[in-house]
Amino acid sequence: MRRTVLALSIAMLAAFAGAAHAADKAVVFAAASLTNALQDIAAAYEKKTGVHIVNSFASSSTLARQIENGAPAGIFVSADTQWMDYVDKRGLIDSASRRNVIGNALVLIAPASSPLGPRAIDAHLDWMKLLGGGRLALGDPDHVPAGIYAKQALQHLGAWDSLQSHLAPAEDVRAALVYVDRGEAPLGIVYLTDARQDPGVKIVGVIPEDSHPPIVYPFALVKGASSAARAYFAFLTGKTALAVFARYSFTAK
């Protein structure tokens, strides 16, 4: 009996060890707002090299905590510097590989059927009148990067105090987008890249760039990343990938 258990254990260990060294796969943990762009880039890479790319999309905060708890990611792309700093400080990434590759902008959106037209977003904007009793949908300003940027912008514009109790804090940016798309919320603040992809919403204003810290997406290799991950990292930050990002309205940095 003991010999059977021993043999089984060795076999299982060998199988897992083998899997860990599978040179044909790279795991990417990335912020949800990069979903479409990264899927296209991964498809292009797979077609070119045959290496299998696994993308895991979630909020940056969730991904950072997963990496902290030993999740097997090779590459981490965060939606803001805060969560990249978080894993950097804990020595979880290859600091030398960290770089800001792309940027984004925040926009004010409304349902496609809304009567609201485009306008300037400045300190004079009457937010309460625009909302008309409804709520402003955005990523949760407590922890979702897009929400954090939005809060900083609104604070800069002097509108945060009055808007604070009229928010619909969503689990992530995509959920905020859905709220506006469904007409549940009359207004929302999401990334330009998200707004461009949803025909159910229209952009009614651009949040001024100087009202919040620059929106950058830091990319980094996780410590102990496989050679496949390293190879893919180079592709991710290269010309072909940048063209894909541009197609989705991400800015180059």
Partner 1 sequence: MMLTPAELEALLLSLRVSVVAIACALPFALAAAVWLSHARFPGKTLVEGAFTLPLVLPPVVMGYLLLLAFGTRGPLGAWLLAHLGLRFAFDWKGAALASAIITFPFQFRAIRLALEAMDSGLAEAAETLGARALDRFANLTLPLALPGIVAGAITAFAASLGEFGAIITFVSNIPGETRTLPLAIFNALQTPGGNVEAARLSALSIILALIGVALAAIAQRRVTRLIGR
State in angstroms the smallest separation of the CB of 59 from partner 1.
7
Are the CB atoms for 219 and 75 separated by under 8 Å? yes
Structure tokens given for 144: 């979702």
Burial class (CB in 10 A: 0-12, 13-18, 19+), 70: exposed
96 in Cβ contact with 221 (< 8 Å): no
Q: How far is the CB of 68 from partner 1 (least distance, A)?
A: 11
- Cβ distance to partner 1 smaller for residue 52 or 143: 143
Nearer to partner 1 by C-beta: 160 or 249? 160
Q: Tell the smallest beta-carbon distance from residue 174 to partner 1 (Å).
A: 10
Distance separating alpha carbons of residues 80 and 69, to the nearest angstrom: 20
Between 33 and 226, CB nearer to partner 1: 33
Rounded distance between C-alpha atoms, residue 13 and residue 111, angstroms:
54
CA 238 from chain center: how many Å? 19
Shortest Cβ 186–partner 1 spacing (Å): 10
The token duo for 221 is 């290799």
Nearer to partner 1, 41 or 181 (CB): 181
151: left (phi over 0), alpha (psi -120 to 50) or beta: alpha
Least distance between partner 1 and beta carbon 168 (Å): 4
Specify the residue, 103 or 183, whose C-beta has the smaller distance to partner 1.
Answer: 183
**Interface with partner 1 (CB under 8 A):** 59, 61-62, 65, 82, 86, 135, 137, 140, 142-143, 167-171, 175, 178-179, 182-185
